[in-house]
Chain A
Amino acid sequence: MAELAPAHAAHAHAAPTGFIRKYIFSLDHKVIGLQYYFLALVAVFVGMALSLLMRWHLVWPQSHMGWLEKLFPAGAAGGVMTPELYLSLMTMHGTIMVFFVLTTAPQSGFGNYILPIQIGAEDMAFPTLNMLSFWVTFVGFVVLIAAFFVTGGAPLSGWTAYPPMSALPEAGPGEGAGQTLWIVSLALFSAASLLGALNFITTTLDLRARGLSLMRMPLTCWTWFVTAILGLLAFAVLLAAGVLLLMDRIAGTSFFVPAGLVVSDRVINHSGGSPLLWQHLFWFFGHPEVYIAILPGMGVVSQVISTFSRKPIFGYRAMVFAILAIGALGFGVWGHHMFISGMSPYSAMAFSVLTMSIGVPSAIKTFNWIGTLWGGKIRFTTPMMFAIGFVSVFVTGGLSGMFLGQPPVDLFFHDTYFVVAHFHMIMGVASIFGIFAATYYWFPKMFGRMMNDPLGKLHFWITFIGVYAVFGPMHYLGLIGHPRRYAEITGVNYLAQSHPLHLFMTIAALITVGAQLIFLFNLFWSMFKGKKAEMNPWEATTLEWTVPSPPPHDNFAGAHPVVYRGPYEYSVPGAPKDYIMQNDPEPAKAAH
């Protein structure tokens, strides 16, 4: 039984000795996971800083910031932010957050670190590919940030980069070299994500420990697995679309630009392209991308709620089916981003029915989380607080989608702050809460020390109230018909009434972002000064809690764990403790 299966032998590699092979160009999934995590950490602080600048500008558009001029000599000439600088900050905020935070941390970060251990493998299936994925992603990030510092600055076209704006340098500052770098960055990111997805899928299918059938996998593994499949299908399309857009810019093709355009008094020499083609390709990627960001968080929340309710997850099979349903339906709803785009109004109805349908598995998950808490014996650890907070913001963000999923209602709300409220709640905040829950939950495993709990709780309270204060009022802005992506609220008269709300949100954002420094301090302080963590500090059941904290190079020190039961056997009647580990051979007396 102890002999190596061929698949195991293929990816086994000796522990590296030198600093570079150990920490920089490492093949170890744990190091690569941490590299992704810290990349996302840098990215999220850059992204938050950009959002604060935007929020500041919306409330005090004329305020003088000398240091801003040093950073952006053209965009903030005289120290006052120009509309084009605002839009480039917005574009970069969205791009950084969606790709380098929400796609990077939950899947590539935690997935890389935890998945192999949770399924009893000693590494990912393709360690070299894994290293390559990270470094290509890293280069993608550097290329993206470089867009700020080229002539014209970063692009203005938003993270959605609709052509012809994104295809024509004439369309505005930032649409020159900045937009080109943006496309190159996304192409790199897509390629890296494709490699990563292959690795995750192969690892999940091939390297599971004996006894770990698919239906015994922790829900985290299910979500990483399905997310990888989504990534494989979605990023392939984004990569193709990005290459076509790049060709339109540099090779004279016209995939997305039709004939007869006059931009900035210049007749454009393109013909035959369709701006809607980009929108279809982009959203064919873009909507599954939402689930790429949120699914791993759902897995983490299931794991954390089960652990700290001391109860098996309510409806494990229903949860798995819901994950699969979200993954499948997620590819049939992209048109709801295009109800008013000029797309056939008939297809809008079909997209709408599918969109409303995807609310069903999301509702199932919510009910099952509440069902898990019901009858539990709840332990209020910091990860649990964030998991409970996740459920609350997920409900809030999900329900606003029920308005946007209906074409006649979307007629009013499309491209207003209501949409901004919706996707920040469901895709941004919920995913970030998933990342926080995962950080507080697995930190002891990753660093061998506990994070400080009172600081964690303080971080939770401010963040939970803060995100509602920042994004809640955006719903009301949507009600008054406030379009999004406006650099100032002075151009249209009816927006004057929005000023008090903007002021409130800006103050709330300053406080909420400030509270993230508590998290940052806790993270690094605990890494060196935190209380030493035991092997299984949370009394949890899955395989990562059967190895030392932090785990050795090959995770199980040469042993091959065998799994005897499902992932969430808590409070089994008659068992000696209130949890039974997955690799515990002692049969649970009342399990069947």
Chain B
Amino acid sequence: MPLLLALVIWLVCLALALPFFTRTWWFPVAISEHARQVDTQFMFTLVVTGVIFIVAQLALGYVVFNYGRRRSGAATYSHGNNTMEVLWTSATAILFIGLTIMGGSVWARVHFMGAPPGAIPIEVTGQQFVWNMRYAGPDGKFGALDIRQINDAGGNPLGVDSKDPAGKDDIVVPTMAVPVNRPVELILRTKDVTHSFFVPELRLKQDTVPGMTIRIHFTAETVGKYEIACAELCGLGHYKMRSFLEVMEPADFEKWLQKRSTR
């Protein structure tokens, strides 16, 4: 029994840990500086927790095996060891708190600092169960919104105010395109319930909250087409509330924008 239990603990934990080494299921490709920093922080955490995981499970299996097969003699009479308590308390405190302080700068760069100057603003509005992306158009200004003018069938899902001249050239589309290597500022909103904007390749996720406007920013560095998923439960169509992010060469992006503004 002692050997069997120790072996099962070790084997089960080995099986759990193995895919972290083989990377059979792993992060999608990282397409921004921020994404790579998140991955680095993840790897640090994986090493620290991985070592603790292996040592703890090995130790558990070992004591079970070693002290379970004992037939004669008495158990050690001991109420503990204060030096060891202090030692492992301080060690875990330093490791765990150290980890999060180390990662603080990654969080700060995306959340404490605004978008760099020259960032392209794109307004993203969640709605059961689609994403609406709005570009400001040539004037660089978003038109005012009026919820009474919302008309999904008539092509005005956001209710862009027809009386506001700034809104005349606004482009509202269901998918997002951005030029490569150019900062983008997202202005996140929702029409109805809470959604969450998630692009796995950007390692970026942000809830869109009713009544709030939330800004985040990113700079995509790899041309390609990526999926945008909704990550916050928003109703029966949550699982299919997706869109696409297309990262393009600047010239292609201009053409893409042109094509949609002339519609």
Among A262, A345, A377, A479, contact of B73 (Cβ-Cβ < 8 Å): A377
Known: A260-B147, A264-B128, A407-B103. 14 other contacts (CB 8 A): A83-B236, A157-B233, A171-B193, A309-B75, A340-B207, A363-B92, A367-B85, A373-B64, A375-B78, A395-B56, A409-B42, A412-B27, A414-B196, A468-B15
Q: A171-B235, A346-B112, A477-B25 are in contact. Are A314 and B74 (CB under 8 A)?
A: no
A558: min CB distance to chain B, Å: 34
User: What A residues does B211 contact at CB under 8 A?
Assistant: 258-261, 273-275
From A465, A485, A498, contact of B12 by CB (8 A) = A465
Cβ–Cβ < 8 Å partners of B45 in chain A:
402-403, 406, 409
Check if B168 is an interface residue, CB within 8 A of chain A.
no
Number of B residues near A (Cβ < 8 Å) is: 100
Closest to B112 in A: A345
Verify if A17 is at the interface (C-beta below 8 Å from B): no
| A288 within 8 A of partner (CB) | no
Interface residues of B (CB under 8 A from A): 1-2, 5, 8-9, 12-13, 15-16, 19, 24-28, 37-38, 41-42, 45-46, 48-49, 52-53, 56-57, 59-60, 63-64, 67-68, 70, 73-82, 84-85, 88-89, 92-93, 96-97, 99-101, 103-104, 106-107, 110-112, 128, 147-148, 150, 152, 159, 191-194, 196, 198, 200, 203-207, 209-212, 214, 227, 229-242
Asked whether, in the complex, the Cβ of B103 is within 8 Å of the Cβ of A409, the reply is yes
Q: Does A573 contact B (CB under 8 A)?
A: yes
Cβ of B127 to closest chain A Cβ, rounded Å? 8
A373-B63, A377-B73, A480-B26 given; A415·B231 CB < 8 A = yes
Name the residue among A309, A396, A405, A461 with the largest chain B CB count within 10 angstroms. A396
The answer to whether B107 touches A345 (Cβ under 8 A) is yes
Asked if A408 and B107 sit within 8 Å, CB to CB, the answer is yes
**Is there contact, CB below 8 Å, between A360 and B60?**
no
CA distance A392 to B203 in the complex (A): 31
Among B5, B19, B112, residue most surrounded by chain A Cβ atoms (within 10 Å): B5
Taking a contact as CB atoms under 8 Å apart, the answer to whether A399 and B205 are in contact is no
Contacts of B37 in A (CB 8 A): 408
Look across to chain B and name the residue whose beta carbon is closest to the beta carbon of A345.
B111
Q: A346-B112, A356-B97, A373-B64 in contact; A318/B237 too (CB < 8 A)? A: no
User: 11 A-B residue contacts at CB 8 Å?
Assistant: A158-B233, A162-B194, A315-B80, A345-B107, A373-B63, A376-B67, A395-B53, A406-B103, A412-B42, A476-B24, A573-B74
**Stretch of A124-132, A487-495, A516-524 that contacts chain B:** A487-495
A350 CB to nearest B CB, Å: 10
> Whole-angstrom distance between the alpha carbons of A353 and B100 in the complex?
7
Chain A residues positioned under 8 Å from B70 (CB to CB): 377-378
A572→B238 CA distance, assembly (Å): 61
- Contacts A164-B193, A472-B16: A399 and B53 contacting too (C-beta < 8 A)? yes
A356 near B96: Cβ-Cβ < 8 Å: yes
Q: Counting CB contacts under 8 A, is A149 at the interface?
A: no
A367 to B: closest C-beta gap in Å: 5
Are A353 and B101 closer than 8 Å at their CB atoms?
A: yes
User: Which residue in chain A gives the minimum CB-CB distance to B233?
Assistant: A485
A311 CA / B76 CA spacing, docked (Å): 7
- A164 with B210: CB separation less than 8 A: yes
Q: Are A165 and B75 in contact (CB under 8 A)?
A: no
| Distance, CA A510 to CA B125, complexed state (A) | 40
Q: 1/0 per residue A273-295: CB within 8 Å of B?
A: 11110000000000000000000
Nearest chain B residue, comparing its CB with the CB of A325: B89
Query: Which of chain A's residues have a CB closer than 8 A to the CB of B68?
Result: 378, 380
B152 nearest CB neighbor, chain A only:
A265
Contacts of A536 in B (CB 8 A): none
Q: In the assembled complex, how far is the CB of residue B122 from the closest CB belonging to chain A, in whole angstroms?
A: 18
Q: Which residues of B contact A476 (CB under 8 A)?
A: 19, 24-25
Assess the A275–B210 pair: CB atoms within 8 A: yes
Contact B25 A318 (CB under 8 A): no
> Does A63 have its Cβ within 8 Å of any Cβ on chain B?
no
In angstroms, Cα B198 to Cα A255, docked, is 28
A162 adjacent to B227 (CB under 8 Å): no
CA distance A357 to B25 in the complex (A): 30
| Cβ < 8 Å to B, chain A residues 456-493 | 461, 464-465, 468, 472, 475-477, 479-481, 483, 485-493
**Chain A interface: which size bin?**
35 or more
A1 within 8 A of B: no
- Known contacts A158-B233, A260-B211, A276-B209; A353/B97 CB under 8 A: yes
Q: Which residues of B contact A375 (CB under 8 A)?
A: 67, 75-76, 78
Contacts of A117 in B (CB 8 A): none
Residues of chain B contacted by A264 (CB below 8 angstroms): 128, 192
CA distance A380 to B67 in the complex (A): 11
Q: Which residues of A contact B233 (CB under 8 A)?
A: 87, 156-158, 162, 165, 485
Residues of the B chain whose Cβ atoms lie less than 8 Å from the Cβ of A573: 74, 77
* Interface residue A253 (Cβ < 8 Å from any Cβ of B): no
Contact assessment for B41 and A83 in the assembled complex, using a CB-CB cutoff below 8 Å: no
Min CB distance A575 to B, Å, is: 9
**Cβ–Cβ < 8 Å partners of B159 in chain A:** 262
Q: Closest 5 interchain pairs by CB?
A: A258-B211, A491-B240, A375-B76, A481-B200, A315-B80
Complex: A457 Cα to B255 Cα, angstroms: 68
Residue numbers in B under 8 Å from A452 (CB-CB)? none
Give Cα distance in the complex from A573 to B75, angstroms.
10
Taking CB atoms, residues of chain B closer than 8 Å to A578 are 74-75
The smallest C-beta distance from B84 to any residue of chain A, in angstroms, reads 7
* Cα distance, A149 to B34, chains bound together (Å): 48
Point out which of A261, A267, A402, A406 has the most chain B C-beta atoms below 10 A from its C-beta.
A406
**Counting CB contacts under 8 A, is A359 at the interface?**
yes
The answer for the CA separation of A367 and B86 in the assembled complex, in Å, is 12
Give A149 to B27 CA distance when docked, in angstroms. Answer: 41
Q: A415-B231, A492-B229 are in contact. Are A341 and B152 (CB under 8 A)?
A: no
